[in-house]
Structure 1
Amino acid sequence: MLNREIINWYEFNKRDLPWRNTTDPYKIWISEIMLQQTQVVTVVDYYYRFINRFPTIKDLAFADENEVLNLWQGLGYYSRARNLHQAAKSVVADYNGVFPDSFEEILKLKGIGVYTASAIAAFAFHLPHAAVDGNVNRVLSRIYGVSESTNSPNGKRVFQSLAEELMSDAPPHIYNQAIIEFGALQCTPKNPSCDSCPLQVQCFAYINKQQDAFPVKKKKVKITDRYFYYLFIYSDDQFLLQQRGDRDIWRKLFEFPLIEANNKLELVDLIKTKEWLSVFKDSKLEITNHISRKVHKLSHQNLHIEFVHIKVETSDLNKFESILLVDKESVAGYPMPRPIEMHLASL
């Protein structure tokens, strides 16, 4: 059977990953959330740091949100960390700190969808749920030649059904790990290793030389370009930070004072904007540097980021309202977007 061949492949080729050596649903949950939108090689170190700091779900539930976000810094998609924190609080409040052991109850937790609930149910509790992610979609679409879009409502139903059918009576925790790993290492998005694939004689895409045609995806959402001009306002070793709002990207993270424009601005135009004039008013200032960074890409946005270094009188730093005055030592306690973190590290 196909599932047995995939499991046999897995036994010989699987990676030694820390979350595979446990049935603790809390640790499996942490790993699954981290692995969303983030490569395995990046996640491993973050996983160890997170588990060392919050070894139990109660430790996470009682932590300060800023501490959680600070530990998450660099992984991006900070809503994942916030949802983890909120879900941990729910487990403590509603389940007496014991992680729920049914698919239906796991699915109720904030930030957990069908895939993650299935993965936790299968890996931690060995329940017969097929975990269908992008790797699984790719394997199934190529083997069976599925023309349905993987991200359409009907496509999701088709792939979930195929995955459950393929799992059959195989051990759920092993089968799910096996097919996910098979997609990650063997049946890769580009240049899949078809010549060494144990499924090639049964694979529609290989037989028809259509590997690149699968999986089928609906047209992507239009990408929006945004132009961020960060003002690094400083005097001696101190500089200014502000906290973002909660209705945009990087919700409630800390950043330098920001001017956002609808298009690219030259410095000579930036200093004429009402936002610039509003910030500095009568302050004496000196522009000491102007740095353009490469485009920072998010799922639906391209951020064109520039940093303008502005030296002011020490007495002027205290004139800015609703803005924090920090130095390089104290700033470590503030969770920040990756571009801000990287810029500070370069100074």
Structure 2
Amino acid sequence: MTNVLAVAEHRRGDLRDVSYEAITAGRELADEAGGELHVAVISGDTDEFSERLNREGVDRVHTVDYGEEFNHDVYHQAVTQLFDAVDAGYLLTPNSVNALDYIPAAANALNLPVVTDVIDLDGGDESLVATREMYGSKVETTTELDTGRAAVTIRGGEWPATEDGGDAAVESFDADIDESAVRSTVTGFEEAGGGDVDISDADVLVSVGRGIEEEENLDLIFDLADALDATVSSSRPIVDNDWLPANRQVGQSGKVVTPDVYIAIGISGAVQHVAGMKGSDTIIAINTDPNAPIFDLADYGVVDDLFDVVPALIEEFGG
């Protein structure tokens, strides 16, 4: 029997959606290992966060009330102590900037192997097989560990968010934080690339690719986004041309998004882009090429010129 400790992630007062995906992945792993799923939330409004994390499949929620935002030294100490306290074998987190900051140090302290950016897990209390993607998501590889102990970071969008309705016990964990070892503090936030939106939080995304042809034509895409109360995102060529900032890019070298609706306009569907949006609930593709790979993934497809389709959509929804 091997227990799983999944660490939730929050930023600027909000739990990130990938925290709920980590619960799903953690529950599956705990079932295979015959153990319990423990979920931890560290810092911030732990009372509110613990209520939201008490979801189906969670056995216990642990709160560490120390500070407001992520801090490497605090998380390192709290996670290593809690991991031992709950007798866990697997440490599970999102594959995020924060987690990749402290997980190597925590894993080193706990003598755990580390597998990052995982898209699938198959394991038990004595072994683990982790699936990852390489070469721009063109190849899937498996990492086999002959141990029931490991630190794993999961890619967002690969597991569905867990359902509401948990009845787990919520316990406050009194971590023994050595304040002399806390050598940094958060003084503020600044969005990278001058971005004013976070596409990973959007419910509806209107995403544009090289089919838009010219920068001036982006006005058409923003008009559609306004009509749909959506957010504009893009594939890499649009960012490479400096037509949109990097914070709007979807894909392996951009952001992973899981909106309710993803509208791909003039996007062929290269594997690097698909890796960032395949977890969307509903995918709609508009492209002149009926053989474009994006149609293999789309729930609905329109084979037509975007300069005819998009104005018609704006008229329909913007009137």
Which bracket does the TM-score occupy, shorter chain normalised?
A: under 0.3
Greater fraction strand: 2
